[in-house]
Chains A and B, each alone.
Chain A
Amino acid sequence: MEFLQPSTWDDAMAAKAAQPEAVPIAGGTDVMVELNFDRRRPPALLDLTRVAELTQWGTDGPLLRVGAGVTSRRLIAELGGRLPGLAMASRTVGSPQIRNRGTVGGNLGSASPAGDAHPPLLASDALVELASVRGVRRVPVAEFFTGPKRSVLAPDELVAAFLVAPAGGPQQFAKVGTRNAMVIAVCSFALALHPAQRRVGTGIGSAAPTPRRATAAEDFLAAALPWDTRGRLPDSTAREFGALVAAAAAPIDDVRGTAAYRRHALSVLAGRTLRWAWEALCD
């Protein structure tokens, strides 16, 4: 197995173009598991940890641009105030060791339906920046995932960054697992309220072939919330929202849980996160 170690972003893209079958490795917390379990035997690994550009974040107009190499730990510590939903999700990732190594680019690269960064990125309309020697493109995260562990990433492309507006309202993330820490989601849910635009963002994890939004639930809630009065949230609204979120999922039965439980849990998480977010907005 070849081990490629570019130290600049251009070299990384060139290497990927020259050897599209090379598998990028960032924190390695997914790649090494796959190698250890013999699920993957790539001819080459493309180590991205020496590419300094990937580990940076800054602004791009009104948006934040966060490099693919930023770890879960740094998302919490450095961006927790601006991206609270993503930080909440990052807190649930693995253990301290995993959060120290695992990157958001790796989470996107794996494109697992259970990737915890995905629901909050969906809820806040993030863009994924993909780059290759052919150029750069920005894809709405909702269009990034194409199937279980599949994405629109072309063989010669790398994830450069994601772009997202800083939170303009309360955000929430909740994840159900059968253990109280270090657990892969049985299902998860992210919510972002955008009071300025009177919009609602959602993201569902681990309950469909890809992470996905619950658009009907978003539309319903945007119309139903008492944005002007900031009045009490009617229980019926929370319930209906929960039902629509559950309806948007397409879960299966697997070792981690049943489809019926996942739908039920999503409706509960949707109702609870909505109440917490609405209370925060009205405080």
Chain B
Amino acid sequence: MTTMRPDTAQRPGPDTEQRVAGGVGDSPVRPDGTLKVKGEFAFSSDLWADDMLWGATLRSPHPRARIRGIDITGAVALPGVFAVLTHEDVPGAKTYGLEIRDQPVLAIGEVRYAGEPVAIVAADHPETARRAVARIAVDYEVLPPVVDADAALDPRSAQVHDRGNLLRHVPVRRGDPAVPAEVVVTGEYEVGMQDQAFLGPESGLAVPAEDGGVDLYVATQWLHVDQDQIAGCLGLPTSLVRLTLAGVGGAFGAREDLSMQVHACLLARHTGKPVKMVYGREESFYGHVHRHPARLRYEHGATRDGRLVYVRARIVLDGGAYASSSTAVCGNAATLGIGPYDVPNVVMDAYVAYTNNPPCGAMRGFGTVQACFAYESQMDKLAAAVGLHPVEVRLRNALTTGDRMPTGQLVEGPAPVAELLRRVRDAPDPPPRGTDPRLLPGGVSNTTHGESVVRGVGYAIGIKNVGFSEGFDDFATARVRLELVGGEPAVLVHSAAAEVGQGLVTVQAQIARTELGIAQVTVATADTTVGSAGSSSASRQTYLSGGAVRAACRAVRAALLARSGLPDARLVDGAAVSPAGEVPLVELLRAGPVEETVEWRHRPTSPLHPATGQGDAHVQYAFAAHRATVDVDTELGLVRVVELSTAQDVGRAVNPQAVQGQIQGGSAQGLGLALMEEIQVVDGLIRNPSFTDYLIPTILDMPPMRVEVLELADPYSPYGLRGVGEPPTISSTPAIVAAIRAATGKALARVPVRPEHITEGPQWTD
């Protein structure tokens, strides 16, 4: 990793000076690292309570059907079964949802996707629970499903809900909608349904409490949004629904929606016993939302020298059966859908439709991944049409500070689009093809010894918003306590922010060390006894919860310095110091701990105008560029990615190793979408709900990466940092496909690219 850091990176406040190790900018060892490597980390599926029951879920086999009746007698009669519940047993709100509460806790009279929960069981053994589920008889009247998002938008289509199939339409209009251009390129693109493929399936343990409430230990991304929905469905005040974060085995957006949370709580309250639910791998494919499949139609108009005059685009996202976060995903696709380019005239329409396909929602990239594949493919087409290098055409249109987005929003702070592109373009070439067959397309499968192998290089850049947008009140809470433990000052950081594997716990401790100068920092397990931290999504948690921890630390510091009674005191290496004197921290803390809780917000955003899409909808933009080098066996259509070179501006690398991890992992996820990852849905049914046929990249598929990290401070964010998690996923996919096109001359308008698209697909001509 190479790093470029200008002097503008923000330092901790003026009232302190610290040299403690393991602070911001270091990469201290993660507390969960060794445990995870050794297989000793307790994930949510390892939860245990004496006397606990096991929950299981009966799911619909049909994508669309009316339920004429549910007969649970066979299940109830099975020895060891403690409860069999249907929607009738849901005491509170019967539906839930992140944005629109349209999703039933258990199906009510109708099922809208294959895999929808219909009934739940608690039994004294998982096998008994499974058998009981099999004994529930549901009388379905099977209906023809709505399976195509475009067709669903036709007013004559059958309706998935009774409010029409259009979930949201986001128009964005800028400039002249009918302006002509000298050069026009058009294209239609398709993105398949990607899965988050986290390794730890949905799981949790609900424990009924004596006060009539329930304690839920669960792997999730946002404790408080879960709490709110669960309490609503249970008909309890939120104070009686307490959540504690259990060990999370990855998230990537798939844990933003509820899965087993309400079910486990219902069963626990019904039986008076702790109830554990753990999905298997196959059930997990039905148990969470996926990335929206998309059809995208783009028309780019430009001058003969490659300057964009207009972009007109129509994006149709398949939302599946329930809303989840579809409306926000659609907003992102629309507002970020022409890419990091300065375009004077834009006509963008993004739609998301209800269908009877599996529900789609949050996944790393959140609506920008689909659009980026299309707009970057278009930029390559434009480069070819005007006879420019693909990077050159991008440079001529690169967004920069002071430009306006199609929404009219001013781009503030660093926007190093051109710089990132130049860096990946100028990176040294990877070595030429060697003779080790494992490093050729086909890998260990011995399909070529060099025959028909052609190398190609492709480029792409993407843009992502950081944080929640469109006027959402996005905040995070953190509590910081400084006290003497065994005579030494120690810090306790407590928040509800979910560590989902990204390294947030480590980052929170680093910030506390930097702000307070104390090495001994403990991060308490996240729970709902402290205020909401918002979601571990949208690349926002280091920004938001990091900001909250920093603010709480500063409040603690101020209180402590006030306690010293010294005028204009600063905290320097374990003491309050001023020209008037010096008081050691240990002495200041003898009077008792100092504790502060802070609710911290980023700058407010505003909603989009419903007709024009104008508005300052986003908090911060993040950018990453990729260059992909691939070897393609053109005769067999097999691909090996030889190298990925990337450059990303992270504002400030709070933890350089974690930044690396996010960039490598995100790029791998983008590689997966480019080459293999797709949930294949036919007639509303998932055909490959397992890792046997839902393929994710192995170490032989993911090449070594060359990573350049820029640290151009954002003037508005803590330490100048920029969200890191999503950008790498966005541009790696189109860069890889561009490289395959360069090697083969094939059109490849759909991802994932399959071998037959290379061997049989049309040529890339326009």
Please report A residues at the B interface, Cβ cutoff 8 Å: 33, 36-38, 88, 91-92, 95, 172-184, 186, 255-258, 260-261, 264-265, 268-269, 272, 276
Minimum CB distance partner of B447 in chain A: A174
CA of A81 to CA of B218, assembled, Å? 53
CA of A178 to CA of B674, assembled, Å? 12
Q: Chain B nearest CB: distance from A220 CB in Å?
A: 21
Q: Chain A nearest CB: distance from B690 CB in Å?
A: 7
Q: A182-B698, A264-B759, A265-B636 are in contact. Are A255 and B446 (CB under 8 A)?
A: no
Interface residues of B in 607-642 (CB under 8 A from A): 635-638, 640
Q: A261-B637, A265-B636 are in contact. Are A180 and B445 (CB under 8 A)?
A: yes
Q: Chain A nearest CB: distance from B121 CB in Å?
A: 15
Q: A178-B675, A180-B442 are in contact. Are A260 and B756 (CB under 8 A)?
A: yes
Q: Is B576 an interface residue (CB 8 A)?
A: no
Chain B residues with a Cβ closer than 8 Å to the other chain, count: 39
**Inter-subunit contact B700/A255 (CB<8 Å):** no
Q: Is B443 an interface residue (CB 8 A)?
A: yes
Contacts of A184 in B (CB 8 A): 692-693
Minimum CB distance partner of A91 in chain B: B444
Q: Is B676 an interface residue (CB 8 A)?
A: yes
Contacts of B690 in A (CB 8 A): 37
Minimum CB distance partner of A276 in chain B: B449
**Inter-subunit contact B701/A181 (CB<8 Å):** yes
Q: A255-B680, A268-B636, A272-B451 are in contact. Are A181 and B754 (CB under 8 A)?
A: no
Contacts of B444 in A (CB 8 A): 91-92, 180-181
Contacts of A265 in B (CB 8 A): 636, 755, 759
Q: Chain B nearest CB: distance from A57 CB in Å?
A: 24
**Inter-subunit contact A255/B688 (CB<8 Å):** yes
- The 5 A-B residue pairs with the shortest CB-CB distance, nearest first, are A180-B443, A261-B756, A181-B700, A175-B445, A180-B700
Contacts of A36 in B (CB 8 A): 280-281
**Inter-subunit contact A175/B447 (CB<8 Å):** yes
Q: Other than the known A179-B698, A260-B760, what 8 A-B pairs have Cβ atoms closer than 8 Å?
A: A36-B280, A92-B444, A179-B695, A180-B442, A180-B640, A258-B756, A265-B759, A272-B448
Minimum CB distance partner of A39 in chain B: B282
Q: Is B87 an interface residue (CB 8 A)?
A: no
Contacts of A276 in B (CB 8 A): 449
Q: Is B130 an interface residue (CB 8 A)?
A: yes
Q: Is B697 an interface residue (CB 8 A)?
A: yes
Contacts of A264 in B (CB 8 A): 759-760
Contact bitstring B688-715, A, C-beta under 8 A = 1, else 0: 1010110101111100000000000000
Contacts of B676 in A (CB 8 A): 178-179
Q: Chain B nearest CB: distance from A44 CB in Å?
A: 16
Minimum CB distance partner of A262 in chain B: B756
Q: Tell me what chain B mostly uses at the interface: helix, strand, loop, or mixed.
A: loop
CA of A36 to CA of B692, assembled, Å? 13
Q: A37-B282, A255-B680 are in contact. Are A178 and B695 (CB under 8 A)?
A: yes
Contacts of A174 in B (CB 8 A): 442, 445-447
**Inter-subunit contact B693/A255 (CB<8 Å):** yes
Contacts of B442 in A (CB 8 A): 174, 176-177, 180
Contact bitstring B445-467, A, C-beta under 8 A = 1, else 0: 11111010000000000000000
Interface centre among B640, B695, B755 (most CB of A within 10 A): B755
Contacts of B636 in A (CB 8 A): 176, 265, 268-269
Q: Chain B nearest CB: distance from A178 CB in Å?
A: 5
**Inter-subunit contact A183/B449 (CB<8 Å):** no
Q: Chain B nearest CB: distance from A205 CB in Å?
A: 11
Contacts of A175 in B (CB 8 A): 445-447
Contacts of A33 in B (CB 8 A): 692
CA of A174 to CA of B451, assembled, Å? 13
Q: Is B687 an interface residue (CB 8 A)?
A: yes
Minimum CB distance partner of A256 in chain B: B693
Q: A175-B447, A261-B755 are in contact. Are A180 and B701 (CB under 8 A)?
A: yes
Interface residues of B in 81-103 (CB under 8 A from A): none
Contact bitstring B111-143, A, C-beta under 8 A = 1, else 0: 000000000000000000010000000000000
Q: Which listed residue, A37, A173, A176, A179, touches B701 by the CB 8 Å rule?
A: A179
Q: Which listed residue, A37, A181, A258, touches B698 by the CB 8 Å rule?
A: A181
Q: A260-B760, A261-B637 are in contact. Are A179 and B447 (CB under 8 A)?
A: no
**Inter-subunit contact B445/A178 (CB<8 Å):** no
Contact bitstring B755-766, A, C-beta under 8 A = 1, else 0: 110011000000
Contacts of B282 in A (CB 8 A): 37
Interface centre among B130, B281, B447 (most CB of A within 10 A): B447
CA of A180 to CA of B698, assembled, Å? 8
CA of A260 to CA of B759, assembled, Å? 10
